[in-house]
């Protein structure tokens, strides 16, 4: 930390405000040191809000001053209180901000089996659609073929390294049925098809012939041994799990979205680098490359998108060669104030429906059946949390895009259109 100009110790509102202000000035290298996660501070639990006079109505800075002095029971420093109430409104206005960056992650929680944390509920995509901001490529949900089949969620990964070193995939009868070294999407499709054929919810990864398993794969060994399996003797139960969303909110090469002042980065964004199927490890690189581009663009005064990267088609007149517009005119939304059902059950039903009808293998019938289920869930989800509402919106967008893409490409596989079609060699843009 010797190269920092300013070190903020503590992650409460004071520390973070100072850090944001110093960083915004662009003159100081700022760090924040906390003994726990940044969210673990008293600030998070404060329920009284912030007291500040934002309009000249009945309330006023003088009344705020008087109330503060009264509450202080004679020990307030009047000069300090005057600074507080006079400068407070300006500091509050610096917050609802000229620039907002969405880094909300993916949407793996759309599905019953996922490697994603419980927070990955497509929040950024749903917010963007509500704001009229285009998203793209969200039909391309990448499924990891060899997630450990276990009640724990998110599911631990049994990486390609195991198959690369000779581990074999076996079905319920113990037979091999797929080339273990095929790309993720092909292995996921083969596993799902065999599971449906045999009426099972998992197959097996046989790594019993791999030598020195615990030494070569210590993290995986710990995961499987934690559930009572010995990788040197036991076949490991596996099933495909929703892993990474290749698409998201459309941005230009600086992370700007179609809405001036709104930026997106990471898995919630569609920069165009992943196309129909992410190359493993490119996701971390994407974050490292495009996040600084956002900061640099804001620093040089950029306020809106430019016709670069995946954003290019949005900034020219329609129709655009190489782009199809999909307009979800009837976005599924819960009836606010309606009679809410048990949210956990509704979320579970949504995830199971998406897994069955919009998972690794899809077709027009399964996608439409899933959409009907979403409509039913929305009708019972009044008063639900923002997460469930966002899941509904993002799920509907994925279904519409998957229905529109009548081909199989990358992570999107339609059993009724199993071939890749040149007529769909373009991006599908969704707008509300």
**If we measure between CA atoms, which residue out of 230, 237, 244, 269 comes closest to residue 123?**
269
Angle value at C-alpha 140, between 139 and 143, nearest 5 degrees: 125
Query: Cβ(155)–Cβ(194) under 8 Å?
Result: no
Q: How many angstroms separate the Cα of 179 from the Cα of each of 45, 173, 183, 413? A: 52, 17, 9, 18
Please name which of 250, 294, 14 lies closest in space to residue 137, comparing C-alpha atoms. Answer: 250
The β-bridge partners of 241 are: 144
Neighbour tally for 408: CB within 10 Å: 22
What value, to the nearest 5°, has the Cα angle with vertex 39 and ends 37 and 42? 115
Which of 155, 163, 184, 396 is the catalytic position? 184
414 is catalytic: no
Q: Answer yes or no: are the C-beta atoms of 242 and 108 closer than 8 Å.
A: yes
C-alpha distances in Å from residue 183, one per residue of 106, 163, 309, 431: 21, 11, 26, 31
Annotate 326-366 with DSSP letters as a single string: E--TT-----TTS----HHHHHHHHHHHHHHHHSSSB-HHH
Paired tokens of 180:
């273990």
CB within 8 A of 391, min separation 6: which ones? 107, 109, 110, 121, 122, 126, 347, 350
CA 132 – CA 135 distance, rounded (Å)? 9
- Segments of 120-267 assigned E as strands: 135-136, 141-148, 168-170, 203-206, 236-245, 248-250, 262-264
Question: Which residues are annotated as catalytic?
Answer: 184
């Amino acid at each position: 930390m010797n190269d920092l100009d300013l070190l903020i110790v503590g992650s409460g509102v004071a520390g973070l405000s100072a850090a944001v202000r110093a960083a915004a000035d662009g003159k100081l290298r700022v760090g924040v040191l906390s003994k726990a996660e940044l969210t673990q501070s008293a600030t998070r639990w404060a329920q009284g809000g912030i007291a500040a006079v934002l309009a000249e109505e009945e309330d006023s800075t003088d009344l705020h001053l008087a109330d503060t002095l009264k509450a202080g029971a004679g020990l307030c420093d009047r000069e300090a209180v005057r600074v507080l109430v006079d400068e407070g409104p300006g500091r509050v206005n610096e917050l609802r901000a000229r620039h907002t960056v969405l880094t909300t992650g993916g949407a793996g929680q759309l599905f019953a089996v996922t490697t994603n944390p419980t927070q990955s509920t497509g929040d950024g995509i749903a917010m963007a659609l509500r704001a009229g901001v285009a998203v793209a490529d969200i039909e391309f949900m990448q499924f990891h073929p060899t997630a450990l089949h276990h009640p724990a969620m998110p599911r631990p990964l049994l990486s390609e390294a195991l198959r690369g070193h000779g581990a074999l995939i076996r079905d319920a009868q113990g037979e091999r049925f797929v080339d273990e070294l095929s790309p993720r999407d092909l292995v996921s499709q083969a596993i799902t098809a065999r599971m449906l054929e045999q009426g099972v919810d998992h197959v097996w990864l046989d790594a019993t012939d791999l030598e020195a398993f615990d030494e070569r794969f210590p993290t995986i060994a710990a995961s499987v041994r934690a559930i009572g399996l010995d990788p040197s003797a036991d076949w490991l139960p596996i099933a495909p799990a929703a892993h990474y969303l290749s698409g998201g909110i459309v941005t230009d090469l600086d992370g700007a979205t179609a809405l001036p002042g709104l930026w997106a980065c990471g898995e919630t964004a569609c920069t165009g680098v992943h196309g129909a199927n992410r190359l493993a490890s490119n996701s971390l690189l994407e974050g490292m490359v495009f996040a600084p581009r956002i900061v640099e663009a804001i620093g040089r005064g950029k306020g809106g998108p430019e016709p670069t990267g995946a954003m290019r088609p949005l900034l020219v007149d329609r129709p655009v060669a190489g782009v199809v517009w999909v307009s979800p005119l009837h976005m599924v939304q819960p009836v606010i104030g309606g009679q809410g059902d048990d949210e956990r059950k509704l979320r579970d039903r949504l995830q199971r429906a998406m897994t069955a009808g919009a998972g690794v293998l899809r077709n027009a019938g399964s996608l439409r059946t899933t959409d009907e289920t979403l409509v039913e869930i929305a009708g019972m989800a009044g008063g639900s949390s923002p997460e469930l509402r966002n899941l509904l919106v993002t799920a509907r967008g994925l279904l519409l895009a998957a229905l529109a893409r009548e081909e199989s490409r990358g992570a999107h596989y339609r059993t009724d259109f199993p071939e890749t079609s040149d007529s769909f060699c373009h991006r599908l843009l969704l707008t509300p």
